[in-house]
Copies of this chain bind each other. A is one copy, B any other.
């Protein structure tokens, strides 16, 4: 569904949001540990998320990553997915034709578009805050 990079990106953003809610800024090392991802690779992804203004990064000792409270409420999963995987998930054809196109649809177009739109709706309506809710109380997990 999503690339590994995107999966790590969502998990990382969610962990940063969770800690930011407690007022804690977190380091790359801690993030990678808590979401069980390769450290250096996660660094690249966080750079990308920082450039796309999804997370804030601070260099130097006592630096790290954080997300403003306003961001935690505002940022939706769709923005993270878009920053890392682009829009292929929305514009791509299920059978791999150049672009999805209702005027010259592939045989699964109608059915595929329904599912894709459900996915889109879900991503566009799930905020980082919502992602953190179950984590605090141990109902959901970012690693196993």
Chain A residues in the interface with B (C-beta under 8 A): 1-2, 4, 7-8, 10-11, 14, 77, 89, 92, 94-98, 101, 104-109, 111-112, 114-115, 118-119, 122, 126, 130-135, 139-144
Contacts of A92 in B (CB 8 A): 1
Give chain B nearest CB distance to A110 CB in angstroms.
Answer: 9
Is there an interface contact between A115 and B106, defined as CB atoms closer than 8 Å?
no
| Listed A/B pairs (18) with beta-carbon separation below 8 Å | A1-B89, A7-B96, A8-B96, A98-B144, A104-B144, A105-B134, A105-B140, A106-B140, A106-B141, A107-B132, A107-B135, A107-B142, A108-B122, A108-B131, A112-B122, A115-B115, A115-B118, A115-B119
